[in-house]
């Protein structure tokens, strides 16, 4: 039979949804910080979020991907307190504020069995505009090239097009991929294919035994080290984006991402840390 004190405790739980009687809903987390956007930034944001939650027991960090365009749109609309964008902001996005927490390169990838090790910019433009259609034209094993492009709204696509001076309408693609891992899975399963993804993501997958390899671009190896020293030509900022006045938790998370004590998480994702000035 319930005692009066036990009944009072149950009533308190029902009315306040907090852990007044031992046990605690949602592990005691009473607020949620939502980040949406870039699939390149999302794994890093997730790792940062886990550590941030450990140090801040009342906050839950919810990370959702969907592309940089989603991150920009959600930050503007208020659906997310922080948007994630793996590119610089455009002139039309000057109403937003961006904090660069790391840098990443965009690298060209092919199947691990492809004998080529490097491509120059002219060859890449030729492949993606349909002027070069067979690997034998580049000194590779004869076979039709399967061109993998990124979906509209993906920051990787924007970086790629800008670097090679192309428009979306110029590209002749056989496959359209969304997130980095989708493109990597396609390349790993198609020996004749070529695509482009985050160098950091590709390095991690190569180390894990995925059958892809990164090609040097204009003679510069596509490596995190080359991104760090500034020699690799196709690099980009990884940004946390906000609109208007930041909430306290959003500011605290951004400061946390900049903290040198958390640079190990950035390095773990094969990105280059950027300390806040």
35-73 per-position pLDDT tens digit: 999 988 999 999 999 999 999 999 999 999 999 999 999
Give residue 269's pLDDT band: very low, low, confident or very high (50, 70, 90).
confident
172 inside domain: yes
Tens-digit pLDDT profile for residues 227-239: 988 899 999 899 9
113 and 202 inside one domain:
yes
6 inside domain: no
Backbone φ, ψ for residue 102 (5° rounding):
-165, 170
Tens-digit pLDDT profile for residues 91-122: 999 999 999 999 989 999 999 999 999 999 99
Domain membership of residue 253 as a residue range: 29-103+236-273
48 and 112 inside one domain:
no
Nearest to 36 by CA among 59, 61, 70, 60: 70
Q: What is the pLDDT of residue 23?
A: 35
Burial of 272 (0-12, 13-18, 19+ CB in 10 A): buried
Q: Which residues contact residue 134 at a Cβ distance below 8 angstroms, ignoring those fewer than 6 apart?
A: 142, 143, 144, 145
- Go through the chain and tell me how many residues it has: 277
Q: Any idea which residue has 């405790």 for tokens?
A: 9
Query: What is the distance between the alpha carbons of residues 103 and 137, in angstroms, rounded to a whole number?
Result: 34
169 and 205 inside one domain:
yes
Q: How many domains are contained in the chain?
A: 2
Prediction pTM value: 0.71
178 and 200 inside one domain:
yes
20 inside domain: no
168 and 214 inside one domain:
yes
């Amino acid at each position: 039979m319930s005692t009066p004190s036990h009944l009072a405790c149950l009533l308190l739980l029902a009315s306040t949804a907090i852990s007044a009687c031992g046990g605690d809903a949602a592990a005691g987390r009473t607020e949620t910080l939502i980040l949406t956007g870039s699939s390149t930034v999302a794994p890093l944001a997730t790792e940062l979020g886990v550590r941030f939650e450990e140090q801040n027991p009342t906050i839950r960090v919810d990370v959702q991907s969907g592309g940089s365009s989603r991150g920009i749109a959600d930050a503007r609309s208020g659906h997310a307190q922080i948007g994630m964008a793996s590119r610089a902001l455009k002139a039309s996005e000057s109403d937003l504020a961006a904090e660069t927490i790391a840098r990443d390169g965009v690298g060209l990838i092919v199947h691990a069995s492809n004998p080529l090790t490097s491509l120059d910019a002219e060859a890449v433009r030729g492949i993606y505009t349909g002027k070069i259609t067979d690997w034998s034209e580049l000194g590779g094993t004869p076979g039709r090239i399967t061109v993998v492009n990124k979906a509209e709204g993906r920051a990787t696509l924007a970086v790629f097009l800008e670097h090679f001076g192309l428009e979306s309408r110029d590209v002749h693609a056989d496959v359209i991929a969304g997130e980095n891992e989708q493109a990597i899975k396609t390349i790993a399963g198609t020996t004749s294919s070529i695509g482009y993804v985050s160098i950091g993501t590709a390095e991690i997958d190569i180390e894990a035994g995925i059958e892809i390899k990164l090609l040097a671009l204009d003679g510069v190896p596509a490596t995190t080290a080359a991104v760090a020293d500034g020699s690799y030509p196709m690099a980009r900022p990884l940004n946390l984006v906000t609109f208007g006045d930041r909430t306290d938790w959003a500011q605290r998370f951004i400061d946390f991402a900049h903290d040198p004590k958390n640079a190990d998480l950035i390095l773990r994702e094969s990105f280059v840390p950027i300390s806040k000035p």
